[in-house]
Structure 1
Amino acid sequence: MADIRYRVEIDSAHDHHFQLTLTIAAPAAEQHISLPAWIPGSYLLREFARHLSGLSASQGSRQLELEQLDKATWRVACSGRSALVLRYRVYAFDPSVRAAFLDAQRGFFNGSSLCLRVHGREDQPHVLELGRLPEGWQVATAMPQQADGSYRAADYDELLDHPFELGHFWQGRFLAGGAEHELVVSGAMPSFDGERLLADTQRICEAQIQFWHGAAAKRRSPVPFQRYVFFLNTVDEGYGGLEHRASTALLSPRRDLPRQGQSESSDGYVRLLGLISHEYFHTWNVKRLKPANYVRLDYAQENYTELLWFFEGFTSYYDELILVRAGLIDEARYLKLLSSTLSGVLATPGRKVQSLAQASFDAWIKYYRQDENSPNSSISYYGKGALLALALDLSLRLRHADGEAATSLDELMRGLWLRHAVGEGASGGISEADILGLLAEIGGPALAQQLVEWVHGNEDLPLPPLFERMGVQLRADKASLAQRLGLRLNDSAGSLLIKQVLAGSPAATAGLCAGDEVLACNGWRLRRLDEAVLTLAPGEFQLRLLVARDQRIVELQADLPASSAPGGAAVGASSTPVQLCLADKAPARALSLRRAWLAG
């Protein structure tokens, strides 16, 4: 019998409670226990202990007193070495991928929401067993199962890295890289085409295994796991993913699933494939290659790093690029997706305020706590990090055109993998110096220094000339009135409620504020903001806006702006989207470079 053993039971599905029993063989005289405050991969203190209740402790027939030391830590004085038994309930009604959920149709949990940490015993094996489940419910997890039906993790870290899906779900399997992959889909409607999603997921996995392992991908088992599980929960509204060492939890609108009898790929379905690609790429880049100080995590507090631009941003670059290389989208569609990322970054004034290194470090207080001022004060390490990866990749590829040895970002990623995650004693931990050192070797010291400036500075990346040399054109796209004014709106139910006003924009100059509701323009009631231009006579450019602000009616005047130029030079004054497309006439060398980039 394992020294640390959890029993997870359904206490009451209708009021969303799990019942936990934790048995600790030979406890310490003063045994400390705690529940994590965050879950790796989601950089925010979520205080999971707020959902724990009814904690009690006993040894044999004797009840023991628990002393709470802080928000998530307890101490219990034990007598002798007989087993300590802790019992408690956990409220589980978070439908996201980060916590725990339970109702009459489905159960899901991450160990960080349910499993107390036994201080001093973290490196010992941990066993988890499930109590009786409702009739017909299935169980899915990547945690190894033992002959007695329980599940065994080598240590506490591994215990937290294997979520569980409970209930009725669709399942499919395939082999890739010599390992079994399982796709588990919950909440899908009867029209769901599971076989298509399974086949497309397999193509993503095969392309990524080829990316990371090259020639070794043809061997029996090059991948760093024996079995991998995709957990996909489909809902009416919701989106997200969270990576684990041998699985990922995904959340997507069920309308984005492929439907039987339909062969086209909707934008929603492509987005879902991109999410699957993103989280699977994390199997290598963040779960095994990781910030050096993440080799051993502290679950009680923030774990800071300046490297999320690499681990999340570079992953965001490859997630959609892999779709092209796997043949799931064509080049034109990929450039459309890339255009969206570029437009989003250029429409964010905060890119001139916060560097990527700062954005990474501040993820705990900024990225996961967005407010009305966020686009003016911060930048996404996902979006701009992806563009940084793009700029670095194209710069490396263009070296050959400049008479130097050809290389690519692919080579940098594989090189980091081989140096830091493979071989005896490899921890996977890397620093910025490790990235720069290898980049200097394959791309030269000047490019390594350029990367430092891109990461720690806040200037725009030099993408337009890079695109041009790759046979890709950058054009201004048609902007909505909200984009031209520098507004972000909630326009549901016919109400034009302002969410955010971009710094330096015409809307900011006019005095519009987050929380204002736009009612009318030039004497005309508005249901859609773009209708405001219809209230202008030829030659007029002034919008006389009537807005509701804290129950008061306010009149403001805004000048109708012209669209800004491609490249975003005027962003901060307006936010014109951009469009990338294949150049009509490009030199043969540019076409060759572009094919090599997109084909891998």
Structure 2
Amino acid sequence: MTAIHYTVEAADLHAHLFRVTLTVPEPQATQTVSLPVWIPGSYMVREFAKNLQKLTAKQGRRSIALIQQDKCTWVMSCKRDQALVLSYEVYAFDPSVRTAWLDSQRGFFNGTSLCLRVHGQEHAPHQLLLPAVKGQATWQAATGLTPVKTDKKGFGLYQAVNYDELVDCPVELGEFWSGQFSACGIAHRFVVAGALPSFDGDRLLADAQKICEAEIRFWHGQGTQAGSKAPHQSYLFMLNAVHDGYGGLEHVNSTALICNRADLPRLVHKQGRPFASDGYTTLLGLISHEYFHTWNVKQLRPDALASYDYTQENYTPLLWFFEGFTSYYDDLLLRRAGLIDDATYLKLLGQAINQVQQTPGRHVQTVAQASFDAWVKYYRQDENTLNATVSYYTKGSLVALCLDLSLRKEGHTLDGVMRGLWKRCKAGPMREQDLLDELHALTGRSWQAEIQAWVHSTHDLPLRELLSSQGIDIKSEAGSLAQRLGLRVNENSGHVHVKSVLRHSAAEAAGLAAGDEWLGLDVGNKGQGGSWRLNKLDELSALLGQERQFIALVARDKRLLRLPMKMPEESSTWKLATAEGRQSGWPAA
């Protein structure tokens, strides 16, 4: 079958426009094309067609009429023996990993944002031509696509086996740092855009290598042949370092990442040691998370995503497994790779537990429901999100923790379940029943009751009991003032703005609402303690002294409100620590 061909040019850097030329050598008599409305791995309809403009079609010198059927679909009547050529522009000014970006410093795109799908020919070979960018002699190109004929800078012709692979290999353009390493015999490349001159690339490569080797061996064993069993023969990390940003999106043999520039490891030394911020640990966790997806969701995938429908939502109740279990293993494998110690790991785990414990929505929505509703809830968060839903990432990771610690009490591990599922389902889609079957095969008993209680109910998880069984001490620490009041706030330039009010909280009882500006307070009986301006929420304790009741002075829609409020009892958070004389091998092994 003749290949579908795309030429993608960085046409106008200042106008942020890519120009795409799509050639269909053998069109159908009635040929339909469409642009995806979502990108796999990010479960929200994003309407990429809103950025497409100047779409034209020709066969030879003859213009072909384009009939638009809906927001992202066009139909043409064609001669079948003549190539169809479509031309269009795409506006690219979204700095996220999900769409496309183009300016004078950098270019980036996912195929779902730029490449029209040729209906009926999705399984044909697809080619992508990346011409060198005019006026940008120092720019390079990087992508996970297979090169056919490219120059030293990466510009030229690439190929994909089908449309799915084409749009699953994003492209990075610009003047970026590049480094390479081998993990279990597999070639890996890291490209970093936007780094400071002090960026320690060697350390990033060394740490990423440890992560990749730990994960390859997790899935395929400790032997020297582990790499030959992996589903990818090469891998590309694309990291965009910015002033303020964080995120990642997995792909078949690559990942696109964003981090704070300050979180990169630096060559600056403190006390004779290479310096890296706490944010660097977060970045390593992101790298670990997206790389783990190479197996868990890109190969081992939910049955609902066995074949992508790019025209609408693809619902699955299993994101608690594919995202949640990946979230459990991302930091756990950092520990096993020796990149963090037990104390750091338990601190990160404690943060995840506290995040769920401080979410009233955990008693409203099950984690399976949260997975199904990702399209309209998780990716469309608002002031009520914490009250109405729970994160399938975070609670899903705690479901994995509960399974792992329960299995360890019986002489097994979740590692064995994951590897068993890889063997059972890697050639086909996975269902919840497959997890239950693998648990039964490993332990000889049913786990239906646990999955029902932890995944399909809103009951709290048995974390305290299970952590204690592994020699983990659980202590209570005083929570923040925001947690005590049941608030989430933004504090900027001396102003306190309410983002969210948590259900059944003191703030809700007083009548505070999202969008309020908390200006100050009257303290004491009838204001005898004085009226005070509030510039930061943490000032509240000092202003109140021994008083428990006060009047919150609030601005809402230009109106000034006086809201009687009572300071609640102290709240607490969990702090995890290793008990003395602990015998368990978890989490290190």
Same fold (TM over 0.5): yes
CA contact (8 A) 2:266 2:276 kept: no
Label 1:217 to 1:297 Cα distance change in 2 as closer, same or farther (>3 A): farther
Name the amino acid aligned to 1:592: Q
Which residue of structure 2 lines up, in the alignment, with residue 464 of structure 1? 464
CA contact (8 A) 1:2 1:127 kept: no
The answer as to 2:524 corresponding to 1:524 is no
Shift of 1:533: 1.5
2:127 counterpart letter in structure 1: V
TM-score by length of 2: 0.95
Q: Secondary structure at the match of 2:493?
A: helix
1:325 is matched with: 336
Aligned counterpart, 2:214: 207
Find the aligned partners of 2:380 and 2:102 in 1 and give their Cα distance: 26
Q: Could you report, residue by residue, the CA deviation over 1:533-562 in whole angstroms, capped at 9, with x for unpaired residues?
A: 112243x21132111111111111221112
In structure 2, relative to structure 1, the CA distance for the partners of 1:217 and 1:518 (3 Å cut) is farther
Alignment of 1:60-75 (within 5 A): 60-75=60-75
Aligned counterparts of 2:545 and 2:363: Cα–Cα separation in 1: 37
Tell me, yes or no, if the aligned pair for 2:168 and 2:252 is still in contact at 8 Å: yes
Q: Match of 2:474?
A: 474
Q: Which of 554, 567, 570 is matched with 2:561 structurally?
A: 554
CA distance in 2, matches of 1:220, 1:209: 7
Task: Say which SS state the counterpart of residue 458 (structure 1) adopts.
Answer: coil
Q: In 1, distance between residues paired with 2:434 and 2:291?
A: 23
C-alpha RMSD of matched pairs (Å):
1.3
Deviation for aligned residue 1:265: 3.8
1:348-387 aligned within 5 A = 348-387=359-398
Pair 1:408-2:413 in alignment:
yes
Q: Distance in 2 between matches of 1:533 and 1:99?
A: 45
2:154 maps to 1:142 = no
Give the match's secondary structure for 1:369. Answer: coil
Q: What displacement does 1:132 show?
A: 3.0
Which residue number in structure 2 is paired with residue 592 of structure 1?
Answer: 583
For the Cα contact (< 8 Å) 2:471–2:583, is it kept in 1? no
Select the residue among 161, 173, 179 that pairs with 2:180: 173
CA distance in 2, matches of 1:204, 1:155: 30
Deviation for aligned residue 1:435: 0.7
Q: Distance in 2 between matches of 1:338 and 1:328?
A: 15
Residue identity opposite 2:420 in structure 1: G
- 2:352 — aligned with what? 341
What is the CA deviation profile of residues 277-322 of structure 1, one whole-angstrom value per residue up to 9, with x for unaligned ones? 0000000000000001211110000000000000000000000111
Aligned to 2:424: 419
8 Å contact kept, 2:177–2:191: yes
What amino acid sits opposite 1:47 in the alignment? E
Give the direction of change, closer, same or farther, for the CA distance of 1:220–1:356 in structure 2 (3 Å limit). Answer: closer
* Alignment of 1:578 onto 2:585: no
DSSP 3-state at the match of 1:260? strand
Where 2:390 maps in the other structure, the secondary structure is coil
Distance 2:308 2:91 in 1: 25
Change (3 A) 1:470 1:385: same
Shift of 1:468: 1.2
Residue type of the alignment partner of 1:535: L
Structure 2 Cα separation of the partners of residues 5 and 69 of structure 1: 23
- Report what 1:568 is aligned to: none
1:453 Cα deviation from its structure 2 partner: 2.1
Give the drift of 1:577. Answer: 2.4
Kindly tell me: are residues 305 and 154 of structure 1, through their superposed partners in 2, closer, same or farther at Cα, counting changes over 3 Å?
same
Cα pair distance change 1:313/1:219, threshold 3 Å: closer
Match of 1:582, as an amino acid?
Answer: T
Q: Is the 1:26–1:81 Cα contact (8 Å) retained in structure 2?
A: yes
1:276 partner amino acid: I
How many pairs are equivalent? 570
2: CA distance, partners of 1:71 / 1:219: 46
**Separation (CA, whole Å) in 2 of partners of 1:91 and 1:445:** 55
Question: Secondary structure of the residue that 1:532 maps to in structure 2?
Answer: helix
CA deviation vs aligned residue, 1:352-389 (integer Å, no higher than 9, x gap): 00001100000000000000111000000001001111
Contact 1:532 1:543 in 2 (8 A): no
2:153 aligned partner: none
Deviations 1:194-236 (A, max 9, x none): 1001100000001111111114554552221111000000101
Distance 1:347 1:136 in 2: 49
In the TM superposition, what whole-angstrom CA distance separates every residue of 1:469-489 from its partner, at most 9, and x where no partner exists?
111111222222111000000
Q: What is the match of residue 494 of structure 2?
A: 494
3-state SS, counterpart of residue 45 of structure 2: coil
SS in 1 for 2:397: helix
Partners of 1:178 and 1:222 within 8 A in 2: no
Of 237, 244, 250, the residue aligned with 2:251 is 244
- The CA distance in 2 between the partners of 1:498 and 1:362, in whole Å, is 26
Q: 1:394 aligns with which of 383, 405, 408?
A: 405
Aligned counterparts of 1:381 and 1:519: Cα–Cα separation in 2 = 36
Residue type at the aligned position of 2:71: K
CA distance, structure 2, for counterparts of residue 545 and residue 329 of structure 1: 44
CA distance in 2, matches of 1:485, 1:359: 26
Q: In 1, are the aligned partners of 2:553 and 2:562 still within 8 Å (CA)? A: yes
Read off the aligned partner of 1:59 and give its amino acid letter. Answer: Q
Native 8 Å contact 1:324 1:330 kept in 2: yes
The Cα shift of 1:261 comes to 3.2
d(CA) in 1 for partners of 2:343, 2:461: 22
Displacement of 1:179? 1.0
Question: What does residue 282 of structure 2 align with?
Answer: 271
Normalising by structure 1, we get a TM-score of 0.93
What's the offset of the Cα at 1:398?
Answer: 1.2
Aligned mates of 1:2, 1:189 — CA distance in 2: 45
- When residues 217 and 455 of structure 1 are mapped into structure 2, their CA distance, relative to the original with a 3 A threshold, is farther
The answer to whether the 8 A contact 1:43-1:368 is kept is yes
* 3-state secondary structure, aligned to 1:396: helix
Q: What residue ranges of structure 1 are gaps of 5+ in the alignment?
A: 400-405, 565-575
Whether the 8 Å contact between 2:377 and 2:389 is mirrored in structure 1 is yes
* Long gaps (5+) in structure 2: 151-155, 524-530
1:91 match: 91
Matched residues, percent identical? 55
Secondary structure at 2:113 match in 1 = helix
CA contact (8 A) 2:266 2:275 kept: no
**CA displacement at 1:247 relative to structure 2:** 0.2
Give the secondary structure class of the aligned counterpart of 1:39: coil
Residue 104 of structure 1 corresponds to which residue in structure 2?
A: 104
User: How far has the Cα of 1:264 moved from its partner?
Assistant: 4.4
Residue 570 of structure 1 corresponds to none
Q: Which amino acid aligns with 2:327?
A: S
**Which of 303, 328, 346 is equivalent to 1:292?**
303
